Every structure is written in C-alpha cells, then in structure tokens.
Amino acid sequence: MNNIKIYIVMFKNIGMILVFIGFNYCLGQAPILPFIKLVEPTKESQVVKLSKQYIVGSTCKTCNLTINEKPVKVFATGAFAYEVNLKIGDSIFNIIASTPENKTTTKKIIYNYTPPLPPDTVKTLTITDIDVYPEGNLYVKPGDRIKFKVKTLKGCKVFANSNIPLYEIPTSATNKMPGIYQGEYVVKETDSFFVTKIPITVTEKGGKSVTEKTNTWISMFSPLAPNIGITKGRLAHLLFGLGDDRLGGAKMGYIDSAVLLNVIGKIGSNYKVQLSKYRTAYVPDDVIDFLPKGTFTPESLTTNWRVYGDSVYDYVTVGLFARLPYQSMQVINPSKIVVDVFGVTNNTNWITQLENTEEIKNVYYEQTQDEIFRITIELKHQQHWGHFIYYKGNNLVIKIRRQPKELTLSKLTIAVDAGHGGSNTGAGGPTGSSEKAIALQLAVKLQQALQKEGAKVIMSRSKETFFDNKERILFYRDSLPDLLLSVHLNSSSDPIRVSGTSVFYRYIGFKEFGNTIYKKLLELGLKEYGNNGSFNFMLNSPIEYPNALLETLFISNPEDEMKIMDENFQQQFVNKVVAGIKEFLEKCKD
C-alpha cells in the first residue's frame, strides 16, 4: 500500500496508477513467490533400503535453494538435483527456496534408511525359498531339463517330487551361505506330471521333515495333444530365449502368417518350438493356433529357385513344400543378406538367374546343419536398404530393396516417429517435463526441417495422442519409408552423473545410418552415451528399411533437460540430425 500511496502522490491520477501497475506486470516485475515442487521423492516421509538417494525437483528460476543450509545449484529452468547419503535411521532434510526479495518457502523431507538385512542362515526346519528354472508355469516333454534351487536348514536331505535329489552347495559357491540346495532333473518318457505344483521335501537328521510346493506348476506336454502350430496375424515373431528385462526375450525376427511350427512345450505365455535338430526358439501364445493332431511335422525339400528383378525390387524365390520358419541376418564388408530356413533339406538342381536384377550380385546356398538351409545373397552396394521375407503360396520370397537412384532428401520418404504419446507419457524431468511432449516438439521440428529440404515426411503422430507400438510397425510397413527415425528422451535413476546423447540400432546393416547422425550430434558438445547395437526395441526390429532410435538427451538430468526444453537448442539438434542424414546419403554414393 505504501508504494500505491507514493504513486498517488506522484501522479495524482488513479487512472495513471492503474496503467502504471499494469505496465509493471507486463514487464514481469510482479512479486515472485518462491515454490518447491519435488518429483523425487514424492512423499514427505519414506522408508528406503539404499543409502544413496536423490532430491529432485524445481523452484522459481531466480530462487536460491538450500538443503540443510547447503547451497544447491538451480538451473535456468528452475530444476535442481541433489544427492544425499543417508545414515541408518531417520534423516531430515530442510529445503528452503528464497527469492532475491527474501521471500521464502520451505519443505521438509524425512528418510528412514533401513538397510536390508544380510541373508541369514535358516535355523529351524523350514523352507524359505524355492526357485524353479525356467521360470513360470511349464509344459515339458521328455528330454527337458528342470532346475530346482531351495534355501532351507543345512545338513538335510532334500527332494523335489520325492525322487529328484537336491544337493547342498559348498559355502564357497554361495557367498558363505549354508543351506542352499540345487538339483537338475531331465524329464523321462515314463514321467507322468499332471498339472501340478511340485512338492519339495526337506528331512533333517533326526527324521523330521517339512514339505512345501513350488509357486508354479509343471505338466507333461501330452503326446495326444495337437503339437503343430500355425502363425496368425501380421506380427508373429520368434524369440531366441525368454528375456527377463523390460524388452523381453531377444527377437529372432518377424515371420509370415500361416508358417508351421513344431511346438514342444510352453513356458509362461510362450510356446517352445523345435526349429531343427539342434535349434529351438519361442513364440508368443497369442500369435499361433493349432492344427489337428496328426498334421505332418514341418519339413521340406527345396525345389527350383528364381532370381530376377522388376521395375522396383530384386527377388529371390525358393520353392518349398510347406511354409517353414526362417531367420534373416545382415552381413557387412561385403554386404550380404543371409536367410536360414528351418526344417529344410537341399534338393535344388538349378537356380534360374535373370539379368534384370540391379542390387543382387550373387546368390548361393549351403546346408549348414540337418534341417537348416542357408541362403546367401551378395549385394552390390555397401549399405543395406532393407528386405522383405514372405511366402507366396509355398514359395519363399526374399524381396530386396535397391539403393535409391537419387540420394537426395528431395527424392526420399523419411518417417519420423515421435515416441510415446497419450497415456504412454514416457520419462519425466525435474521440472515436471514429459518425454512424450518434448519428443513431439522435436519430431515436428524435424518434420519441418526435412520438408524444407524437399523430403516427403510421414509421422506416426503429429499431435498429442496414443499410438500403440504394434500399430506403428504396421503403419510403417504399409507406408514403407526409405528411412525411419524414432525420437525419444532417455532417463536414469542417477540424475546427476548420467547424461548425454545416444543412438540405438538392431541390425548391423543399419548401423551407419544412426552412427552418422550420432557423430553430428556430438558436434553440439554433448556427452557421449554411445551408438548402441542389437537393441531389442520394437521400432528397431523391422528389416524393411534402415532405422535408428534417437535418445536425444537424458530428461532426468537437470542440465540435459534444460537444453532439450530450449527452443533454440531443439532447432540446433534437429539441424544436426538433418545434416547427419545428408552426410549418410553422400557416403552411400561412394
């Protein structure tokens, strides 16, 4: 009120006062109120098992911040990240944010650090842990191996299913922990596991015993049940094994519909399939149906081949008697496409090769193992531009994309995929920023920059909406870009030390595409997080076009977040991506 009174004395006109006050607000001179907004931790009080914790959040951009009277760096966005190392028990942290005008606000955080108790020996006749490998409910067949691991009282006799002995492991192999028993069982023809949980029985020296059952069940895969599966839909795929990270088992690759598979068991939601005498794989249970019992085991001889081209693609066709599973690989230096077809035995008498191919240099085959037939296609250009594998009737078709005749952006179609969207928010930053929003901003800027170069750009999403990754794959498979870039932001549990830019690819033939862009991004002075191969992400799995996933920066890191939220930096980033694509195209001309 004193300021207003001064204005009245000075101007003696209330209208001028109102205009003057409004003008000050327009200039951003209104009083700034301090605030503290935390994204980690989310509660005032929490119990934690690790001594290292982080206090992460944001305050006003001009505020000073202290935690227990120690100054904390506040970035231009208002973000901050502070590492604390706790002592056992309660630790209190007082956070104070203050403005230059000495207005303050406070927040209190309480951690109760209770370290996990070290593993203790079992002192009474009880079973504390039972593990079965492979994990999950099991359908097994003769020859399968089941592994058991049990923690109980030391010096006992332990059996699974009353007839599978488990042996105590020396403490030198168990981090000095006695009472760890392991055993492996090979399923026999005479076994008759019904759908049952396996009992584990522990008997001490005095003869007293205790029994508990496994958490998951085991059942014999009935010889009377149908065992020939047939793939359905457009996204059937084989897995090398059963991965336990968030991306699941590593994909061997997608396969066509109506492909026959010899199912020999099931683990969890994945069927185990016999590809050849010595090769097995897994397939999700939602992408296959079963044929009636008595259907022939999938196998075939090869018949004649044809190698030819049309106005757009080159082709290799191989005659078979049935649609059988396959796996393709890319080879570089020199560039080749290698396709293994399972259940196939060579019986080819000739390969017809026409002179209208433009990308195929040579084609040959070899029988690498019983029931594994390998097709090798040598390419004329160093860069892989993608290929398709599918069946036309029972003929296996390998369709090969040629290198574009004009390697300029104005003649190409580029797919730009803005990661996440809608309910799939992705990672979050200290200021409350979201990966889905920033990825979309970058993708739109990249679209505009590429269009200025004359490129045709297709987008999975150009607005805030949800788009399932499976639908994205089908969308790009149908629209068939020349190149694809998927835009994301990375995140780490350590918001202070972990930062930088990175690129991810799945197939070696597509490495150079992402790597050229990555090197351009490093010209911005960004920290290296690597050009990462064999990435098992869904958008990196297509073989039809070169693709790369850009993890632009770490949204979890305050400095990286500040950079990637800045409009000018976003444009610099996009410009480097475009420059990287253009340099990649120039390299392909060699």
**Cβ–Cβ under 8 Å, residues 529 and 490:** yes
Which of residues 90, 113, 136 is at a domain's end? 113
**Cβ–Cβ under 8 Å, residues 499 and 527:** yes
Q: Count how many domains the chain has.
A: 6
Query: Considering the domain boundaries, does residue 71 fall inside one?
Result: yes
Q: CA 545, CA 503: separation in Å to the nearest integer?
A: 16
DSSP run (H or E) holding 452: helix 435-452
Q: 391 and 280, same structural domain?
A: no
- Order of all β-strands in the sheet with 64-67: 45-48, 104-113, 89-98, 64-67, 70-72
Query: Considering the domain boundaries, does residue 121 fall inside one?
Result: no
Q: 494 and 425, same structural domain?
A: yes
Query: What secondary structure letter does DSSP report for 117?
Result: P
Q: 464 and 329, same structural domain?
A: no
Which of residues 83, 113, 143 is at a domain's end? 113
**What CATH number does the domain containing 207 carry?**
2.60.40
Query: Considering the domain boundaries, does residue 243 fall inside one?
Result: yes
H helix count then E strand count, the chain: 7, 40
**Cβ–Cβ under 8 Å, residues 375 and 398:** yes
Q: 454 and 351, same structural domain?
A: no
**What CATH number does the domain containing 52 carry?**
2.60.40.10
Residue 537 zone, left/alpha/beta (φ > 0; ψ -120 to 50; rest): beta
C-alpha angle 122-124-125 in degrees, rounded to nearest 5? 105
Q: 153 and 103, same structural domain?
A: no
Q: CA 42, CA 57: separation in Å to the nearest integer?
A: 10
pLDDT at 24 (0 to 100)? 43
Q: 475 and 353, same structural domain?
A: no
pLDDT in tens, the chain (590 residues): 444 444 444 444 444 444 444 444 444 466 789 999 999 999 999 999 999 999 999 999 999 999 999 999 999 999 999 999 999 999 999 999 999 999 999 999 999 999 998 889 999 999 999 999 999 999 998 999 999 999 999 999 999 999 999 999 999 999 999 999 999 999 998 888 878 899 999 999 999 999 999 999 999 987 778 899 999 999 999 999 998 788 889 999 999 999 999 999 999 999 999 999 999 999 999 999 999 998 999 999 999 999 999 999 999 999 999 999 999 999 999 999 999 999 999 999 899 999 999 999 999 999 999 999 999 999 999 999 999 999 999 999 999 999 999 999 999 999 999 999 999 999 999 999 999 999 999 999 999 999 999 999 999 999 999 999 999 999 999 999 999 999 999 999 999 999 999 999 999 999 999 999 999 999 999 999 999 999 999 999 999 999 999 999 999 999 999 999 999 999 999 999 999 999 999 999 97
Q: Which residue has the tokens 């085959």?
A: 365
Q: Is 385 helix (H, G, I), strand (E, B) or coil?
A: coil
pLDDT at 12 (0 to 100)? 40
**What CATH number does the domain containing 325 carry?**
2.60.40.3500
**What CATH number does the domain containing 554 carry?**
3.40.630.40
pLDDT at 480 (0 to 100)? 95
Sign of CA dihedral 308, 314, 315, 316: positive
Q: Which residue has the tokens 């206090």?
A: 55
Nearest to 68 by CA among 35, 44, 91: 91
Peptide bond into 41 cis (omega under 30): yes
Q: 583 and 443, same structural domain?
A: yes
Q: 269 and 387, same structural domain?
A: no
Query: What secondary structure letter does DSSP report for 279?
Result: -
126-137: b or e for each residue (b if 16 or more CB lie within 10 Å)?
ebeebebebeeb
Other beta carbons less than 10 A from residue 142's beta carbon: 14
Which of residues 182, 201, 220 is at a domain's end? 220
Q: CA 37, CA 57: separation in Å to the nearest integer?
A: 5
What residues have CB less than 8 Å from 529, skipping those under 6 apart?
490, 499, 500, 501, 502, 551, 554
Return the biggest CA–CA distance within the chain.
107
Query: What secondary structure letter does DSSP report for 335?
Result: T
Q: 214 and 237, same structural domain?
A: no
Residue 152 sits in which domain range?
A: 127-220
Sign of CA dihedral 186, 192, 194, 196: negative
Q: 211 and 183, same structural domain?
A: yes
Query: Considering the domain boundaries, does residue 119 fall inside one?
Result: no
Query: Considering the domain boundaries, does residue 254 fall inside one?
Result: yes
Q: 354 and 339, same structural domain?
A: yes
Q: CA 430, CA 59: separation in Å to the nearest integer?
A: 10
DSSP run (H or E) holding 281: strand 280-284
Q: CA 542, CA 417: separation in Å to the nearest integer?
A: 14
The first and second tokens of residue 169, run together, are: 């492991």
Q: Which residue has the tokens 């065992």?
A: 227
Query: Considering the domain boundaries, does residue 120 fall inside one?
Result: no
Query: Considering the domain boundaries, does residue 309 fall inside one?
Result: yes
Query: Considering the domain boundaries, does residue 481 fall inside one?
Result: yes
DSSP string, 153-195: -TT-EEEETTTEEEEEPPGGGTTT---EEEEEEE--TT----S
Q: 489 and 446, same structural domain?
A: yes
DSSP string, 518-535: HHHHHTTTPPEEEEE-S-
**What CATH number does the domain containing 265 carry?**
2.30.30.40
What residues have CB less than 8 Å from 433, skipping those under 6 apart?
555, 561, 565
